[in-house]
Chain A
């Protein structure tokens, strides 16, 4: 396992043979799919597909343990929003009325649709985070000629996030070393803990701006003036080649996306009415 800022990525993975741009493209485009698909079974299929890709890429499935509670709590909130907080709608089909709260079929249906829309979007994000190193994102951005300064800010932001995390760990220890003990204390006491972290974290970052800036200037980096117009060699790209397979993958993703749009808006596929899952659920409830 190789530690990145966003978690651990596998040491060896077939996915590393793929150009980083394809990974970013996958994240950006496949995340869009669920927005055009209403039928839950199709979205569920996209999620399964993404999870299968994770398995194929030898991602440690333990990563899912971090996101599972998040996905569950989100589902719970959506359900709550659509049922308990859903209001009174005499026009809907009433399923049951526990504690005087009306639960309607249409609400359950909509909650399901929304939830199954969110799941694959989360899955693509997790897939990306668990197979990409920071360098991949930078390579992807540079290979599509995004201005250097943007790529660079991005890279430095990740770098500084790493430093802040590290500082955060030390500050927390420093706090403990001074007898701070949140165990069994009130919420106000715990919030104080957050306050205490913030000042040193900011202070350290501010002290660093100056040093970082000096180091950048010393390496001949300029943001304005003639020196900023220099043509960059993009040496890092020499480690990556965009192969035929990468082109094919980009093509498949693009065609799938177009196909979904055409099927959805031209032929009315992926809608609620012909979703066998919804039809089955309606009859079951």
Chain B
């Protein structure tokens, strides 16, 4: 049996000012997984993600990615394996054209210009960024597109794992679904493992396969979405409550609904089942 792609063992992380952010985290992530990290503001989701790609070095314990321990591996090596898309695209757009922006990563890892070109075109294609934007300044683009450029710029490094921090904050329902559909496509058709950090429970219910709930530096729950959402008392510890449709199903368990109901469609299907005569 092959070992998991990312292995986190007894990870402890303290901020430079001494605050304990992560306390004894153990987790494994396989290639091609689709995971969401949930938890209240300040629960350690972002810090944990930054430990996964080596931006933060563990204070204790180990993060091993594809056989490389983040403590001893240079960050350049780490980011080639685990890409991290920051929440605010404005923090990560440094260049004056979209082309340079996407090419920035591959150039940093000193690829030949031909290879850089190939990767830029591929990444732009995957995120659906039209060639006509290549010469535009990323700062001029609307937020949705800036986010796509940011994702493309990470894709160009061809990491096996991509972490996306709060991709749906500030987006409307339609835009959120478009972004999520796109991430699912990356996961299913291109085989990247995707980790999504989010507060948006209807989105989690609809898209997540595995949910990791973090609270006060610990993993409170880890499992399939329906299972994690079946324990509202655990989620409440980290200020999460399941979407209303799940809450409705939980309150009507006696009538035969499953506490792990995630979407309206599932609710309807169960209703049909229950009322079939």
Let me know if chains A and B touch directly in the complex, using CB atoms closer than 8 Å.
Answer: yes
Interface residues of A (CB under 8 A from B): 1, 3, 167, 170-171, 173-181, 183, 196-197, 199-200, 203-204, 207
Please report the C-alpha to C-alpha distance between residue A196 and residue B153 in the assembled complex, in whole angstroms.
15
**Given A199-B94, A204-B90, 10 new contacts (CB under 8 A):** A174-B86, A174-B91, A176-B75, A177-B79, A177-B83, A178-B92, A179-B108, A196-B94, A199-B95, A204-B91
Please report the C-alpha to C-alpha distance between residue A176 and residue B55 in the assembled complex, in whole angstroms.
7
CB pair B55 A178 closer than 8 Å: no
- Chain B residue at minimum C-beta to C-beta distance from A178: B105
What is the CB-to-nearest-CB distance from B193 to chain A, in angstroms, rounded to a whole number? 16
List residues of chain B with CB within 8 A of the CB of A183: 74
Specify the main secondary structure of chain A where it touches its partner.
Answer: helix
B80 close to chain A: CB less than 8 A: yes
List residues of chain A with CB within 8 A of the CB of B17: 1, 3
Partner of B104, one of A170, A178, A197, A204: A178
What is the CB-to-nearest-CB distance from B171 to chain A, in angstroms, rounded to a whole number? 17
CB pair B55 A203 closer than 8 Å: no
CB pair B86 A200 closer than 8 Å: no
Please report the C-alpha to C-alpha distance between residue A183 and residue B17 in the assembled complex, in whole angstroms.
25
CB pair B139 A179 closer than 8 Å: no
Please report the C-alpha to C-alpha distance between residue A64 and residue B96 in the assembled complex, in whole angstroms.
41
Contact with A along B129-141 (1 / 0, CB 8 A): 0000000000100
CB pair B94 A177 closer than 8 Å: no
CB pair A179 B109 closer than 8 Å: yes
Please report the C-alpha to C-alpha distance between residue A197 and residue B76 in the assembled complex, in whole angstroms.
18
A179 touching B80 in the complex, CB below 8 Å, given contacts A3-B17, A200-B92, A204-B91: yes
Interchain residue pairs with CB less than 8 A apart (27): A1-B17, A167-B91, A170-B88, A173-B55, A173-B86, A174-B91, A174-B92, A176-B55, A176-B75, A176-B79, A177-B84, A178-B92, A178-B154, A179-B76, A179-B80, A179-B105, A179-B108, A179-B109, A179-B157, A180-B108, A183-B74, A199-B96, A200-B94, A203-B93, A203-B139, A204-B90, A207-B90
Task: Find the residue from B17, B75, B91, B139 having the highest chain A CB count within 10 A.
Answer: B91
CB pair A170 B105 closer than 8 Å: no
List residues of chain B with CB within 8 A of the CB of A207: 90
Task: Rank and list the top 9 A-B pairs by shortest CB-CB distance, nearest first.
Answer: A179-B108, A174-B92, A178-B105, A196-B94, A181-B76, A179-B109, A170-B91, A177-B84, A180-B108
B50 close to chain A: CB less than 8 A: yes
Interface residues of B (CB under 8 A from A): 17, 50, 53, 55, 74-76, 79-80, 83-84, 86, 88, 90-96, 104-106, 108-109, 139, 153-154, 157
CB pair B79 A179 closer than 8 Å: yes
A177 touching B55 in the complex, CB below 8 Å, given contacts A3-B17, A203-B139: yes
List residues of chain B with CB within 8 A of the CB of A197: 94
What is the CB-to-nearest-CB distance from A199 to chain B, in angstroms, rounded to a whole number? 6
What is the CB-to-nearest-CB distance from A196 to chain B, in angstroms, rounded to a whole number? 4
What is the CB-to-nearest-CB distance from A19 to chain B, in angstroms, rounded to a whole number? 29
CB pair B76 A177 closer than 8 Å: no
CB pair B91 A177 closer than 8 Å: no
List residues of chain B with CB within 8 A of the CB of A1: 17
List residues of chain A with CB within 8 A of the CB of B75: 176, 181
Please report the C-alpha to C-alpha distance between residue A173 and residue B88 in the assembled complex, in whole angstroms.
13
Partner of A178, one of B79, B90, B96: B79
- Chain A residue at minimum C-beta to C-beta distance from B56: A173
Please report the C-alpha to C-alpha distance between residue A1 and residue B19 in the assembled complex, in whole angstroms.
13
- Chain A residue at minimum C-beta to C-beta distance from B163: A177
What is the CB-to-nearest-CB distance from B42 to chain A, in angstroms, rounded to a whole number? 15
CB pair A200 B74 closer than 8 Å: no
What is the CB-to-nearest-CB distance from B137 to chain A, in angstroms, rounded to a whole number? 10
A178 touching B91 in the complex, CB below 8 Å, given contacts A170-B86, A173-B50: no
Please report the C-alpha to C-alpha distance between residue A170 and residue B86 in the assembled complex, in whole angstroms.
9
CB pair B91 A171 closer than 8 Å: yes
CB pair A203 B92 closer than 8 Å: no
List residues of chain A with CB within 8 A of the CB of B93: 199-200, 203
- Chain B residue at minimum C-beta to C-beta distance from A170: B91
Please report the C-alpha to C-alpha distance between residue A177 and residue B153 in the assembled complex, in whole angstroms.
10
List residues of chain B with CB within 8 A of the CB of A177: 53, 55, 79, 83-84, 86, 92, 154
What is the CB-to-nearest-CB distance from B118 to chain A, in angstroms, rounded to a whole number? 17
Please report the C-alpha to C-alpha distance between residue A200 and residue B96 in the assembled complex, in whole angstroms.
10
- Chain B residue at minimum C-beta to C-beta distance from A171: B91
Task: Find the residue from A1, A167, A174, A175 having the highest chain B CB count within 10 A.
Answer: A174
Please report the C-alpha to C-alpha distance between residue A197 and residue B154 in the assembled complex, in whole angstroms.
18
What is the CB-to-nearest-CB distance from A8 to chain B, in angstroms, rounded to a whole number? 9
- Chain A residue at minimum C-beta to C-beta distance from B18: A1
Please report the C-alpha to C-alpha distance between residue A204 and residue B90 in the assembled complex, in whole angstroms.
7
What is the CB-to-nearest-CB distance from B119 to chain A, in angstroms, rounded to a whole number? 12
Please report the C-alpha to C-alpha distance between residue A179 and residue B76 in the assembled complex, in whole angstroms.
5
A203 touching B80 in the complex, CB below 8 Å, given contacts A177-B154, A181-B74, A181-B108: no
